[in-house]
Structures are given as C-alpha cells and as structure tokens.
Amino acid sequence: MINAPYPRPGKQRLACAWIYLVLLPGFAFGSEPPRLVLQITVDALRGDLPQRQLHNMGKGGFRYLFDEGLYYRNANYMHANTETVVGHSSLATGAMPALHGMVGNVWYDRKLKRLVYNVEDDRYRLLGAGADVDESTEIDPTQRVANADGRSPRALLTSTFSDELAYAFNGASKIFAVSVKDRGAIPMAGQAGKAFWFSKAKGEFVTSNYYYDRYPQWVLDWNHTGPSAAYGGKSWTLLRPERDYLFGADDDQPWEMDFPGFGRTFPHAWGTADDKYFTTKLTISPAGDQLTLDFAKTLVAKEQLGKDAIPDYLSISFSSNDYVVHLFGPSSLEAEDVLLQLDRTLADLFSYIDKTVGLEHTLIVLSADHGAPDALPYLNKRGDSNAHYFDMNACMQGVRARLGDEKFRGVQGLLGEYAHPYIYLDQAVLKQAGLDSAAVSETVATLVRECPGVSTAVTAHDTQYSTDRNRLLEGRIWNNYNARRSGDVYIVLDSDVYVNEMDGLTVASNHGSPWNYDTFVPIFFAGNGIESGSESRPVTPYDIAPTLSTRVGIKAPSGSVGSPLPEVLE
C-alpha cells in the first residue's frame, strides 16, 4: 500500500490542531477556518444551465448557492481538450494539462506503443473480485483501452490541493474523493488521499490497493446492503408535471439515443437487477447521483469528517448529467429533469453537512469539468444551418491516401494512432524512411485542414503564431500540449461541428472542443462566512485550487497557474 493511513484523532491530530489554531490569525478572513473543504464537480454542467432551470428549483440546492453563495458567472477553461479527466485534473491542481499531464481521457504512450487510459495502472489492482470494467455494459469508449486490472493517480505530474493539504498538516487531514467515474474521483484525491468510484460490473463502490490493503468495514457494509438493487424493477420518472418544463413538449426527438431497454421517452425503465445493462442505466439517470450521495454521506459519518480544527477534504463528482447530455443533449427533457433532480440531491447534501459539520464550518466550492454543446440537429431546428456532425474516419482515410505521394517516396503507414484530438505519427516508420517529423506533421496538418468542417490543425513543431490564425484558439491548444503525451497534430473542428460517435454508438452530443460552449462552466463558493454576491469578470477554474489554498493558509499546488479570487478571501 502506497499511502499510510491518516492518523486517527489522537496526539498527532490534536497537536496539528493546536498549532493550526495558534498560527491561524495570520490567515484569518473574518470567520473560522473551514473544518471541511467540500468540492463538488458536476460533470458537463455548462455555465448557463443552472440559471436556465432555477425557476423550477426548490430551496437548499442550487438556490442556496445563488442566494447565499458567491457566483462567478464568466468562468472558462483555457485549454482545448475539454474532457472529463482533463477538467477534473485542472480543478484539482490549478494547472493546465500542459503541466499536470492529463491531456485527454486517452493518449498514445510512445514507450508502451499503445493507447492508455488516464488512470490505469497495472501495479495497483482493484480490490475485490469482479470489480474490473465490464465492457458489455459500458457506454464510455475510453474504458475500451483501459487496463482493467488497476487504477492510481500516478499519471498526474503535479500536486493537487488535496496533496498540499496532506503535506501542510503532516497527514492529519482526512482526504477523500467519490464519483461514479474513476477519473472523476482519482485526480481529486491526488497522491495522498483516498478515492472511491462506482463499478458497473458489481454495482458497488470500489477502490484499488494503491489506497488500501483491504476495504474499510463501513464500505463493505454499505456495499452489502445492495443499494443499486433497490432500483430494480423501477423507472426514472419526471420530478414535476411535464407542463412545467421548458422542453416538456419535446420528449421524443429523432437525434436522441435509444439506449437498449431505456428508450427515448419517459418513463425510462431501469429494468431488473440481473439485466446486463442495469447498472449502466442507473448511471445515465438521476440514480447515479443519488447512489453517489448516499455513499458520500456514509463516508462523512464513518470517517468523522470535519470534527476538529484540522481541515478535512471531500470531493464529490456527480456524473449523471454528463451521461444524460451525451444521450439526449443538454436541451432535452431528460437533461432538464436530471438537473432538477440533482438540485434535490444537492439540497440533501447541504442539509446533511449542516447537521453533521455545520455549513459555517464547511467551505463549499462547486464547478464543472467542462461544458457541453447542444445536439446539432437541435441547432438546425433552431436555425443554425452550419451545424453538422463530422465524419472523422472519412477525413483520416483521405489524409492517408494523399500522404502516399512522391513527396514522401510512397512511404506507407506514416500515420499511427488517432486519439481525439491528436494524430500520432508512427515514428518508427519515419525513422526507417529517413523522414523529418516536422515536415511530415506539417503536411498532415495541411491535408487535415482541407477536410470540410475542420477549423485548424496545429503541429507539435508549430511554435510560431502566424497572423492568419486565431491566437485564442491556438493558445488553448498549446495549454493542452505536453511533450510526453500529446500527439504530433492537434485537430480542431469548426464551431458547432463534432463527431457524434462513441464506441460504435451514435450519441446526441459530444464535448471536447476549445469552443466556449465546452469551456464555459459556473463557479460557486458558499459556507464558512462567504459573502453572497456575483462577479462577471473573466475568471478560470484554475483559480479554484490556489483560492482554496490561500483560504486555508497553505501553499498552492506545484503547477498552479491560477490566481486566488479576492472575493473569497475578503
């Protein structure tokens, strides 16, 4: 086991608490320091969506954040590949992927000579038999290349806020992260914390032996109750009458994905617990968030978070919104309802934290790992005639065919892997043919730019901005570039153009671009004496980690490029 267990309340933790209280006045911000930092990430929560649905939301959830929290309404990521692990790692580290290294959900490893999944690690097996990825029930293509035998955070190249918390308090802070997705939990826990995620194969929350030699008893007890099975034979139904919804009359749209046994219209049946798609259907509905919350509440109680002056940390990443957006699009009845049900889930969470820790002792921050584009047929219906899906296979086939011209002496196999959004050249073929990588990369980029629907293609050797290019767009590409992991050519499709294929399945919406609909996310701070208000100046999610660090009085993560937000510190 890599990580020694954190100290239980005792001499070391009490000593840390005494020192913290003595030194604290230097870091005081007009209120008690937080006993618990609660970081919430809502997967694919585009920045405008909470406000669009606020009129239907109750008290205590998003409305609590709007009314009593500090709301940053103009936050954008400044990296290009807006995917799940990239965003979570940026939230955790305050760094761009160029520094933290998580350049995509998948990248090509030149040493291993294969595609790798971001948190795979065969040195650290999953605890418990049968907890590995069951591909027959997986709608997420990134898992197809995953090493199913292990997980760890070792691919992160910089420290996280949670790591710095562990370092500052000599391991006395309790640090946990929970999500349906492994890549939603593992980066947030960092190297020093503990991460749990949902196994679709088992219908339970699992971890690896990077974190534990054996499960804590409370985890075994929670899993033993079979909380997933409780949804068997039931359905996802609307929270409110259909007439209350903005998209109430649009339940059945031809571009929505008809997942087997789930359907395109309400109610969406989960099926029986022995259905091979049962646990997947839970995660593509509010049930996934509800299971995550129930596990997290049990964790807070059993691990006694926030019970003394030493600040603890809990990250909860809610994933259902992302899955629903992929299947139905963000402007759909399903996406509208999953957000309203998440609002109830958040209200439950905040109420529970208030009773067990106290909101005055809890510093809450909520944001998203990325935004989401609308389904392109929805935009067509609303009048955008340029929006269309892109055939990446046809583009790549054309590029391969045209590369075999006399310029490269008919050399075949120059293109290696394509792992969105990167093209990797086959360096062995280039070396054998005596070809210059920069020259081949530029030729590939030129050919790619000729594919209809491609905005630009930038090579790893293209270090100069030219006057005919979009500096903001290319800046986001370079912020995503890590020499160890990024490919030779980065492809950017036009605005409102993307590939709608995931592992052979046709989906309604697919994020991952540098356009603002994918980079735009909300940021809320609340609790622990935060003054209510809103700010419209430009900020970035990279600002969150250094803001938390400054608020707690520790150093920022090693690769942090963000700036502490002064309103949180006043």
Higher pLDDT, 506 or 390: 390
Question: b/e per residue, 77-92, with b = 16+ CB within 10 A?
Answer: bbbbbbbbbbbbbbbb
Q: Is residue 459 part of a domain?
A: yes
Sign for the CA dihedral angle at 317, 320, 326, 329 comes to negative
Cβ within 8 Å of residue 482, ≥6 positions away: 97, 98, 99, 101, 103, 157
Residue pair 510/498 in contact by the 8 Å Cβ criterion:
yes
How many other β-carbons are positioned within 10 Å of the β-carbon of residue 379? 18
Q: 454-459 and 489-493 as β-strands: parallel, antiparallel, unpaired?
A: antiparallel
Same domain, 241 and 339: yes
CA distance 452 to 16: 61
pLDDT tens digit sequence for 347-359: 999 999 999 999 9
Up-side HSE of residue 44: CA atoms within 13 Å toward CB? Answer: 28
CA distance 162 to 165: 5
Phi then psi dihedrals of residue 204, to 5 deg: -140, 165
Q: Is residue 1 part of a domain?
A: no
Same domain, 193 and 301: yes
Provide the whole-model pTM. Answer: 0.94
Which ranges of 159-277 would DSSP assign to H, the alpha helix?
161-168, 182-189, 217-224
- CA 139-115-403 angle, 5° bins: 110
Same domain, 466 and 368: no
Same domain, 489 and 520: no
| pLDDT of amino acid 31 | 67
How much is the average pLDDT of 15-32? 52
CATH of the domain at 268: 3.40.720.10
Write the burial class of residue 523 (CB in 10 Å: 0-12 exposed, 13-18 middle, 19+ buried). buried
| pLDDT of amino acid 465 | 47
CA distance 392 to 498: 9
pLDDT tens digit sequence for 508-559: 999 999 999 999 999 999 999 999 999 999 999 999 999 999 999 999 999 9
Residue 423 tokens read as 């093209």
Higher pLDDT, 463 or 446: 446
Closest by Cα among 110, 111, 120, 112 to 143: 120
Residue 83 tokens read as 């995917």
Number of domain units in the chain: 2
As beta bridge partners, residue 109 has 114
Sign for the CA dihedral angle at 79, 84, 87, 93 comes to negative
Secondary-structure percent of the chain, ordered helix, strand, coil, rounded to 5: 40, 20, 45
Q: Is residue 118 part of a domain?
A: no
Closest by Cα among 156, 157, 140, 159 to 148: 140
Q: Is residue 275 part of a domain?
A: yes
- Please, which contacts does 386-393 make with residues 24 or more away whose CB atoms are closer than 8 Å? 386/494, 386/496, 386/497, 387/496, 387/497, 388/453, 388/496, 388/497, 389/497, 389/498, 389/499, 389/500, 390/453, 390/493, 390/497, 390/498, 390/499, 391/499, 392/418, 392/499, 392/501
Q: What percent of the chain has pLDDT over 70?
A: 89
How many other β-carbons are positioned within 10 Å of the β-carbon of residue 155? 20
Same domain, 242 and 367: yes
Residue pair 90/103 in contact by the 8 Å Cβ criterion:
no
Q: 422-425 and 505-506 as β-strands: parallel, antiparallel, unpaired?
A: unpaired
Same domain, 371 and 395: no
Q: Is residue 534 part of a domain?
A: yes
Q: Is residue 349 part of a domain?
A: yes
- CA 336-341-344 angle, 5° bins: 135
Same domain, 15 and 151: yes
Residue 492 identity (one-letter amino acid): V
Cβ within 8 Å of residue 421, ≥6 positions away: 80, 81, 104, 490, 491, 492, 512
Confidence of residue 256 (pLDDT cuts 50, 70, 90): very high
Which range is least confidently modeled, 213-217, 307-311, 499-503? 499-503
CATH of the domain at 464: 3.30.1360.150
Share the mean pLDDT of the chain.
Answer: 91
Same domain, 484 and 554: no
H/E run at residue 178: strand 175-179
Same domain, 340 and 403: no
Same domain, 348 and 223: yes
Same domain, 285 and 396: no
Closest by Cα among 155, 160, 295 to 223: 295
How much is the average pLDDT of 362-373? 98
| pLDDT of amino acid 472 | 82
Same domain, 74 and 153: yes
Confidence of residue 8 (pLDDT cuts 50, 70, 90): very low
| pLDDT of amino acid 14 | 54
- Domain range for residue 273? 11-95+142-378+514-569
Q: Is residue 319 part of a domain?
A: yes
Confidence of residue 13 (pLDDT cuts 50, 70, 90): low
| pLDDT of amino acid 139 | 55
Closest by Cα among 96, 71, 208 to 158: 96
Whether residue 404 has pLDDT greater than 80: no
Q: Is residue 114 part of a domain?
A: no
